[in-house]
Amino acid sequence: MAAAGGGEAPAAPVCVLVLGMAGSGKTTFVQRLAAHLHGQRCPPYVINLDPAVHDLPFPANIDIRDTVKYKEVMKQYGLGPNGGIVTSLNLFATRFDQVMKFIEKRQNASKYVLIDTPGQIEVFTWSASGTIITEALASSFPSVVVYVMDTSRSTNPVTFMSNMLYACSILYKTKLPFIVVMNKTDIIDHSFAVEWMQDFETFQDALNQETSYVSNLTRSMSLVLDEFYSSLKVVGVSSVVGTGLDDFFIQLSKAVDEYEREYRPEYERLRKTLEKAQNEQKKEQLEHLRKDMGSVCAQGKTLAGSDDASAMGPSELILTRGTLDEEEEERESDTDDIDHEVTEESHEEPAFRNFMQETRMKYQRSSNPNE
């Protein structure tokens, strides 16, 4: 990532999931990131997950609007705006395995994957489709969550605390490296917010000017978030002017190192656990199949009317295959190449009766070799 502000680029592309409240400037931030990377001759792979956006200010490699028609979903299912966005995202999540393949094909050409999420943050954060998309990306590529915050609207300590609580909940929900981008620093500098996070007394002084019940709750919550602040990566950025992007990429590099060090081993462990569970399920299915085949063989011997054959179990029946002549052995060994199509001849009663009669006679010869 030397081209964009520090460190060497990882082999796999870095997935940057951009989240934030409505109006915080997520889409403008993604636009500025894309323009910055293009200027560094490091073009990103851009994905738009907002089905309700009218005009996209940046070229997207994958656009959910090309797959799902937001207004048609609302009309077909009788949904409102938020319900339409959730349903559109759910429908798109069913095809996300194809998106993963596109990202894998472009991993040599793009060092970064920028993902713009819907304007309603709760739609992506707390929906099943958002979890599916996040876990799919994080299990295959280094992934970082970027929470975009409107600095100009957070000058009130109660509003600031609401943003921080939401950021904390997203951090523990996604379980991924986390960066808070304090956007719109061209309007107001973010130093006041950083001071509130680092100095508890300063934040308490700001709260003393508030006399509402919410301020008392905020005062209590600020004690809880003290540990959260200590490990939080914070960057001040202006998406309009383009300031602070170098600092952002430095923090992004640290977040990728954190992913490789702490998060990737956990995802590898989860992947191995899932593979083990799938293998156990396959073994159980094969065991059920073996038992079913044994019961079918037992029924076939009963139809043949042979007392000797009916007394034999599945394992004994397998042992007697060595007594079959070479022609029948060759015929049975070629079954892997057959399409197993059912024909009328295979169900003819005389052919079935003759086959069972021959088999019964061979079993009798094998059990009485002196005859």
Say whether 48 sits in a helix, a strand or coil: strand
Q: Which residues contact 204 (CB under 8 A, 6 or more apart)?
A: 219, 222
> Rounded to an integer, what distance in angstroms lies between the CA atom of residue 314 and that of residue 200?
75
Q: Give residue 59's domain range.
A: 17-267
**Is the residue at 102 inside a domain?**
yes
**Is the residue at 338 inside a domain?**
no
> Rounded to an integer, what distance in angstroms lies between the CA atom of residue 252 and that of residue 249?
5
By DSSP bridging, strand 14-20 and strand 62-63 are unpaired
Which phi and psi angles does 63 have, rounded to 5°?
-125, 125
How many other CB atoms are there within 10 angstroms of residue 258's CB atom?
A: 18
Question: What is the pLDDT averaged over residues 218-242?
Answer: 85
Lowest mean pLDDT among 155-159, 277-281, 367-371: 367-371
pTM over 0.85: no
**Is the residue at 292 inside a domain?**
no
pLDDT of residue 120: 81
**Is the residue at 35 inside a domain?**
yes
Q: Which residues contact 34 (CB under 8 A, 6 or more apart)?
A: 44, 46, 58, 59, 114
**Is the residue at 12 inside a domain?**
no
The DSSP code for 262 is I
Say whether 310 sits in a helix, a strand or coil: helix
Question: What is the pLDDT averaged over residues 111-125?
Answer: 90
**Is the residue at 263 inside a domain?**
yes
The answer to whether residues 96 and 132 touch, using CB atoms and an 8 Å cutoff, is yes
What's the number of domains the chain is made of? 1
Give the end-to-end CA distance of the chain in Å, rounded to a whole number.
83
Long-range contacts for 134-138 (Cβ within 8 Å, ≥24 apart)? 134/17, 134/174, 134/176, 136/96, 136/97, 136/100, 137/15, 137/17, 137/100, 137/113, 138/15, 138/174, 138/176, 138/263, 138/267
Q: What confidence category does residue 298 fall into, taking pLDDT thresholds of 50, 70 and 90?
A: low
**Is the residue at 331 inside a domain?**
no
CATH code where residue 216 lies: 3.40.50.300
**Is the residue at 98 inside a domain?**
yes
Lowest mean pLDDT among 116-125, 185-194, 259-268, 323-332: 323-332
pLDDT at 250 over 70: yes
Say whether 287 sits in a helix, a strand or coil: helix
